[in-house]
């Protein structure tokens, strides 16, 4: 039950960092949606290693192949399966790690859960698993564009370590974000963030930060009001991304410092539409979108892999030490931006299709 | 699809603030678990209105009736249904609200979604919906105690507005928390928090805060490693509680200010068990419990109902003003503590049963 | 997981023959559908005991109460909960049965599965469980009538023991079926069937038969083409009814005696629509409705309760004998007709709503 | 939602007869189960075309590749993905069929549902889809053998057209069934059945028949007692196989001719176990296995593809005629035997794992 996401637009991811490859099966995609392999590949390229000199130098081309569900550029309504072959595997780099549990990785917990573990690398806990999510979201993106044109979903690096970007969620553009390798929305912070990441990497250390994501032009009425609240499904989606430790919507934790009088969003009419004059709700009220910008933030801890000797234990229960090796990200945030967008896109697409089931007939 | 929670231990809640009542159907509960009506009622009493002079004075007895699934104090393995009749309804108090959208409530979004809305009060968005969750969790609590004795799940008020409690998650007790009407874990903060809530209420205003929750003695190996990570399901569970705006596990947002060297939790052996010397991971690694305390925090915004005139619009699209009436909580946190515990209990019970499906046979 | 049916229009039934009552929660019902308590009660009356002198004389009024989800005669889009209190319980009648396993009942298998069993009567295996299904289907019926007027779902007794009715599925009416207490569609067979049931009852014996069901005016395109084929979901729905042993669609088992040349249904155009000149497919091709009448048959074994001494064993493993007591149906078919209709209605409603999710936008 | 089967042992199939390939993702498989590629390939070989001179001469090697979830011959607990490349495609053979709806195929209904259709062959309705099911069941088979050794699942051809085999479900062996290309369990009927199939094929016609399947040594207690009754899930599983029109368990339709006195299965003790002296229930009572042989029958209609001119219509709504071409099975039953076994295996494995969730702790 563990690798399925979504209720109507359902994705099933599979694959480990070793073995034949990784991928995804998308079930529940409406038919007649235009989808091209290029669009999928483009999104995969945004998350792949080796794309710039501040991410891991592993060179994984991550070339997508569509096995089914799309013909002549249109979805058939049948399951869409996409695979990406594993290539640049260097099991040798991981030999020591097969025996010693890497601190703050999933080595020990996989052993505790399954009694067996992939012999090298992160196995299923590898970030390669997110390839399937990103590929599926590229398809979902086309569903949104076809069924409800105008919805924009943009994420950017809000902070790296203690460096904060100043970004206006209402106006920031994809061009601005993609114009720099950090993927921040604040041009003034690009150089200092790059500098920080490189310094940390040189030190064999790692850092985290916060990614912010906005959904603009979301129609009101999406989200199921009890357990599958839009913010609840977004929270789950974000906390399912490796290395995340926190989630906020709208005012978030800072909102606990306001009184109700300060926090409430007054309604008023604008061009015949119900709008709010402030947006501390973050675009969602009672679990359902209200038509304002949906604004969320996700906390990413520093990468667990560091090039320092650390205390740990072996799988046979002996205290030992382990020094990080291999080629990893000193800061995952630039590559996590497309993953945050992907998960937000999957949640929104699923809720858009769910809403069709129960839509009022007038 | 909106009112079901859980995969194996599944609950289905129902009911509005008006109408015959609210309740829950629990499906997937193992048989032969001892469950008493008293245990269920006791938990409902912890969340009911009118329990102290800092919560809403509405007097709802919230008396539970078990319709099925339990016989002679033992679960039968069949669906357990529990209902609580609605009583103290005063639709008159809400007349104006039926026409005017209350700011930061779900009135507008329900209309946008369904094209119809319960005529008075919060309808399905009412906090009464959480009665079903709390009743179900009281049953789940017994499942845990029977199948895996020793697991402790405790929540407490960590902050009210800008007042912070100092609580040690490793040692705080239910007795301490229940000994004060705020349900904080820090005796030194009780009076000042009560004072603050009363002042805010006198002013017709409202405040929020943070609830912290610990799961102690959780066995390692629980949680599904991809989408249904333990922290992802906890995040969804918490964000599904009305008025929540944020979720953290372990180091949370503050963890983004640390480097990997500072953040990683070294492993070492203790009494033949794999343990960590710090716990910035918050008891979960790679989505799976590692046996350390699971520690989460949930942000609650200030209650939307305030006794001040606010700008809003009518359901027919005219700008207007609305003054809050009725009997509401100036601060929901004391009553939200058992709800946070309930949702954490439901997530843990579900994952404990899920793990049985895939457990290794040795 | 055991008491939920449907993917979008989901029902959750609960309740045993003892205890407070039985009922259903319906989740996923679209809003603004007109539903009256009378319509629900009317369907329950069709399945209730004591309705005629060929069914069990137990006098259960089975009075429905709607607890939530409907206001002023319209669905709210929220879960609809309906309960029916248990009344005429006579645990004394069942004392012996609590210790001795009744042959061909579920007493032994419940013990084998759960290690515990309701102390008297059929518990969850009681036909009372179908009350929730019938109530839910009465709501579903209104969903169909609102979203897709004209769909007719009619079931009738096709055979009792070796007595066969001659019924034209294309023209049989509800009036004909409801005009006789057997609920057969062939007026010529009414008296002989009644006679047979009474004779068998007098003998303390029981009989079964076949119920046939037609869905007329089903739009083409319903049904999911792989596992959730329309006929697969209908088969599951029918085999989930107590006492059923077989299912056929269209040509059924008799179709295995035809060649492809005899069996294929040629297409031709009628009034601009694609139609078939024969209907051995039974209205479904490749799992998807083709617009022709959907025709199914369901085999019901003779009721397990008979008034004869039978060999059996006790729950402690001793051979013994048991004589049936209590008030049961010598032939369940008249009361099973509304249950077959109910399950067909639930399947069709669910697939109609499912189809809305993936419908092509033109 | 359409291509997923199972609740705990879940399979997701994908792929069309054209395109890159077909396959399956298995989620929920327990870890540490020994599984070899050879076992999977062996089952695929039993269903593949071209295996004998009474099935379609299409030569599809159907070579399986495992992409993930298995390492060094053991399952990892992670999703197992298996793909089979499409090879011997001859779109030319199907040109006419792309325009004209083949009678009793799914061409028209797919168009009605999706508004788009794979350009050649059966697309997703092709029997190639069952490759994923058979591959998944080969894995499930190993789960059963590991967790509950001794369960036997055997299917055989019970009838071809009007030719009936005489087979004892209690004693028939895999060796007997596999020793003949018809896969019947009655050696005396092999030659006459082969003769009949060849005669029908020479005539350009087709025939169907009945496949019988037994599950021996099933432990008592499997099956969920309401909607997911063991027989209900088996019925759905079987009716999801292409070309099926009926399902029976135990006494089936013939059981409707018996009285209760004749039909009931008396209990008696054998070697300290509760057993029945007859088995008209077919191994299931109240939806739950009782430890006796589970015996089912499945009706397969004659193959829709015939080499005769038939009336039909074009996708643009004109009456026309169509002559079958291509290489198809005159009788699908020999190749359907492993598919029936596969679906029965999937149902049983899923219910075995489901039962672990709710098993009583003693």
ipTM score of complex: 0.97
Q: What integer best gives the mean pLDDT of chain A?
A: 94
Which CATH class, in words, describes the domain spanning A4-358?
alpha beta
Mean pLDDT of D249-260: 98
Q: Cβ distance D189 to D165 under 8 Å?
A: yes
Q: Measure in Å the smallest separation between the Cα of D283 and chain B Cα atoms.
A: 21
- What tokens does C69 get? 């989800």
DSSP codes, D57-124: -------EEEEESEETTEE-SSPEEEEEE-----GGGGHHHHHBPPTTSSHHHHHHHHS---SSTTGG
Touching partners of D (3+ C-beta pairs < 8 Å):
A, B, C
> What residues in A contact C6, CB-CB < 8 Å?
none
Least confident of C237-246, D91-100, D152-161: D91-100
Residue D92 has pLDDT above 60, yes or no: no
Q: Pick from B205, B239, B281: which is nearest to A104 by CB?
A: B281
> What residues in B contact A296, CB-CB < 8 Å?
none
Helix or strand or coil: residue D48? coil
Q: Is D117 on the interface with A (CB under 8 A)?
A: yes
Give the pLDDT of residue A178. 97
Q: Cβ distance D30 to B360 under 8 Å?
A: yes
Mean pLDDT of C168-191: 98
pLDDT band at A2 (very low <50, low <70, confident <90, very high): confident
Touching partners of A (3+ C-beta pairs < 8 Å):
B, C, D
Q: Is C76 on the interface with B (CB under 8 A)?
A: yes
**Are residues C79 and B27, on separate chains, in Cβ contact within 8 Å?**
no
Q: Is C112 on the interface with D (CB under 8 A)?
A: yes
Enumerate residues 216 to 275 of chain B having a beta carbon within 8 A of any beta carbon in chain A: 220-229, 231-240, 242, 244-253, 255-269, 272, 274
Q: Which of C66, C70, C64, C68 is nearest to C34 (CA)?
A: C70
Mean pLDDT of D257-267: 98
What is the 3-state secondary structure of B96-147?
Answer: HHHHECCCCCCHHHHHHHHCCCCCCCCHHHCHHHHHHHHHHHHHHHHHHHHH
Q: Cβ distance A277 to A268 under 8 Å?
A: yes
Cross-strand partners of C268: C275
Which residues does A279 contact at the CB level (< 8 Å), separation at least 6? A250, A265, A292, A293, A295
Give the pLDDT of residue C94. 56
Q: Cβ distance D197 to D182 under 8 Å?
A: yes
Q: Which of C151, C5, C145, C153 is nearest to C75 (CA)?
A: C145
Query: pLDDT, tens digit, for every residue of D221-237?
Result: 999 999 999 999 999 99
Residues of chain D above pLDDT 70, percent: 96
Instruction: Give the chain A residue whose CA is nearest to the CA of C77.
Output: A358
Give the pLDDT of residue A90. 56
Residues of chain A above pLDDT 90, percent: 85
Q: Cβ distance C247 to D297 under 8 Å?
A: no
**Are residues D74 and A19, on separate chains, in Cβ contact within 8 Å?**
no
Q: Measure in Å the smallest separation between the Cα of A272 and chain B Cα atoms.
A: 7
Query: pLDDT, tens digit, for every residue of C127-172?
Result: 899 999 999 999 999 999 999 999 999 999 999 999 999 999 999 9
Q: Measure in Å the smallest separation between the Cα of C238 and chain D Cα atoms.
A: 8
Give the pLDDT of residue D120. 66
Mean pLDDT for back-to-back runs of 10 residues, chain B (362 residues)? 91 94 97 96 93 82 95 96 84 68 95 87 88 98 96 98 98 98 98 97 96 98 97 98 98 98 97 97 98 98 94 95 81 97 98 88 59
Cross-strand partners of D13: D24
Q: Pick from C68, C74, C117: which is nearest to B15 by CB?
A: C68
Give the pLDDT of residue A180. 97
Q: Pick from A147, A354, A361: which is nearest to C146 by CB?
A: A361
Mean pLDDT of C254-280: 97
Give the pLDDT of residue C91. 53
Mean pLDDT of C328-350: 96
Give the pLDDT of residue B362. 53
Least confident of A83-97, A150-164, D345-359: A83-97
pLDDT band at A96 (very low <50, low <70, confident <90, very high): confident
Cut 0.90: pTM above it: yes
Every domain of chain D and the residues it spans: 4-358
Q: Pick from A5, A106, A161: which is nearest to B288 by CB?
A: A106
Region of residue B163 (phi > 0: left; psi between -120 and 50: alpha; otherwise: beta): beta
pLDDT band at C92 (very low <50, low <70, confident <90, very high): low
Query: pLDDT, tens digit, for every residue of C1-35?
Result: 589 999 999 999 999 988 999 999 999 999 999 99
**Are residues B286 and A258, on separate chains, in Cβ contact within 8 Å?**
no
- Give the phi and the psi of residue C243 in degrees, each rounded to 5: 80, 5
**Are residues B112 and A285, on separate chains, in Cβ contact within 8 Å?**
no
**Are residues D30 and B354, on separate chains, in Cβ contact within 8 Å?**
no
Give the pLDDT of residue B143. 97
> What residues in A contact C77, CB-CB < 8 Å?
358
Residue A120 has pLDDT above 70, yes or no: no
Instruction: Give the chain A residue whose CA is nearest to the CA of D350.
Output: A1
Give the pLDDT of residue D208. 98
> What residues in D contact C249, CB-CB < 8 Å?
239, 245-246
Query: pLDDT, tens digit, for every residue of C304-335?
Result: 999 989 999 999 999 999 987 766 789 999 99
Q: Measure in Å the smallest separation between the Cα of C172 and chain D Cα atoms.
A: 23
Handedness of CA C319, C323, C327, C331 (dihedral sign): positive
pLDDT band at A223 (very low <50, low <70, confident <90, very high): very high
What is the C-alpha to C-alpha distance for residues C105 and A62, in angstroms, rounded to an integer?
58
Q: Is C361 on the interface with D (CB under 8 A)?
A: no
Give the pLDDT of residue A121. 67
> What residues in A contact B117, CB-CB < 8 Å?
none
What is the C-alpha to C-alpha distance for residues A66 and A82, in angstroms, rounded to an integer?
4
Q: Measure in Å the smallest separation between the Cα of C74 and chain D Cα atoms.
A: 28
Q: Pick from B16, B69, B75: which is nearest to C68 by CB?
A: B16
Give the pLDDT of residue B237. 98
Residue C77 has pLDDT above 70, yes or no: yes
**Are residues C357 and A357, on separate chains, in Cβ contact within 8 Å?**
yes
Q: Is B1 on the interface with D (CB under 8 A)?
A: no
Q: Which of D74, D83, D31, D40 is nearest to D342 (CA)?
A: D40
Residues of chain C above pLDDT 70, percent: 96
Q: Is B353 on the interface with D (CB under 8 A)?
A: yes
Q: What integer best gives the mean pLDDT of chain C?
A: 94
Burial environment of residue B52 by CB neighbours within 10 A (0 to 12, 13 to 18, 19 or more): middle
Residue C202 has pLDDT above 80, yes or no: yes
Q: Is C77 on the interface with A (CB under 8 A)?
A: yes
Max CA separation in chain A (angstroms): 69
Q: Is C80 on the interface with B (CB under 8 A)?
A: yes
> What residues in D contact C109, CB-CB < 8 Å?
220-221, 223, 284-290
User: Does B348 or D121 have the greater pLDDT score?
Assistant: B348
- What tokens does D128 get? 């190639």
Q: Is C351 on the interface with A (CB under 8 A)?
A: no
**Are residues A30 and C358, on separate chains, in Cβ contact within 8 Å?**
yes
Mean pLDDT of D239-243: 98
Among D12, D34, D129, the strongest candidate for a mutation testing the A interface, having the largest count of A CBs within 10 A, is D12
> What residues in B contact C80, CB-CB < 8 Å?
14
**Are residues A355 and B113, on separate chains, in Cβ contact within 8 Å?**
yes
Residue C87 has pLDDT above 90, yes or no: no
Mean pLDDT of A318-345: 91
Give the pLDDT of residue B18. 86
Mean pLDDT of D333-340: 97
Give the pLDDT of residue A296. 98
**Are residues D30 and B353, on separate chains, in Cβ contact within 8 Å?**
no
Give the pLDDT of residue D362. 53
Q: Measure in Å the smallest separation between the Cα of D203 and chain A Cα atoms.
A: 35
Give the pLDDT of residue D2. 86
Q: Is B361 on the interface with D (CB under 8 A)?
A: yes
Q: Pick from D8, D69, D115: which is nearest to A1 by CB?
A: D8
CA angle, corner B111, sides to B108 and B116, nearest 5? 145
Q: Measure in Å the smallest separation between the Cα of C256 and chain B Cα atoms.
A: 40
Q: Is A118 on the interface with D (CB under 8 A)?
A: yes
What is the C-alpha to C-alpha distance for residues B124 and D335, in angstroms, rounded to an integer?
53
Give the pLDDT of residue C120. 66
**Are residues C357 and A146, on separate chains, in Cβ contact within 8 Å?**
no
What is the C-alpha to C-alpha distance for residues C133 and C34, in angstroms, rounded to an integer?
19
Instruction: Give the chain D residue whose CA is nearest to the CA of B29.
Output: D358
Cross-strand partners of D176: none
Enumerate residues 12 to 71 of chain C having a beta carbon within 8 A of any beta carbon in chain B: 12-16, 18-23, 25, 27-28, 31-32, 65-69, 71
């Amino acid at each position: 039950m563990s690798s399925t996401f979504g209720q109507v637009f359902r994705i099933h991811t599979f694959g480990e960092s070793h073995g034949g490859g990784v991928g995804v099966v998308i079930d529940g995609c409406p038919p007649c949606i235009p989808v091209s392999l290029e669009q999928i590949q483009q999104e995969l390229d945004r998350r792949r290693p080796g794309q710039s000199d501040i991410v891991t130098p592993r060179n994984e081309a991550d070339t997508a192949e569509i096995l089914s569900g799309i013909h002549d550029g249109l979805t058939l309504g049948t399951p869409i399966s996409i695979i990406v072959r594993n290539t640049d595997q260097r099991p040798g780099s991981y030999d020591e790690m097969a025996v010693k549990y890497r601190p703050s990785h999933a080595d020990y917990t996989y052993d505790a859960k399954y009694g067996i573990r992939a012999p090298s690398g992160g196995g299923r806990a590898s970030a390669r698993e997110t390839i399937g999510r990103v590929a599926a979201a590229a398809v979902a993106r086309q569903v949104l564009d076809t069924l409800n044109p105008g919805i924009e979903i943009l994420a950017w690096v809000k902070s790296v370590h203690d460096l904060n970007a100043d970004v206006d969620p209402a106006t920031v553009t994809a061009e601005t974000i993609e114009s720099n390798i950090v993927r921040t929305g604040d041009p003034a912070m690009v150089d200092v963030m790059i500098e920080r990441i490189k310094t940390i990497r040189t030190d064999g250390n790692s850092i985290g930060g916060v990614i912010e994501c906005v959904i603009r032009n979301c129609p009101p009425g999406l989200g199921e009001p009890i357990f599958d609240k839009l913010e609840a499904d977004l929270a789950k989606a974000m906390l399912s991304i490796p290395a995340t430790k926190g989630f906020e919507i709208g005012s978030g934790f800072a909102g606990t410092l306001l009184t109700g009088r300060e926090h409430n969003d007054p309604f008023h009419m604008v061009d015949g539409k119900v709008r709010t004059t402030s947006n501390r709700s973050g675009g969602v009220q009672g679990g359902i979108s209200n038509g304002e910008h949906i604004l969320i933030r996700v906390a990413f801890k520093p990468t667990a892999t560091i090039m320092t000797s650390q205390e740990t234990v072996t799988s046979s229960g002996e205290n030992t030490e382990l020094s990080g090796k291999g080629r990893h990200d000193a800061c995952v945030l630039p590559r996590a931006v497309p993953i945050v967008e992907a998960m937000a896109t999957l949640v929104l697409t699923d809720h858009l299709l769910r809403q069709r089931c129960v839509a009022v007939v007038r």
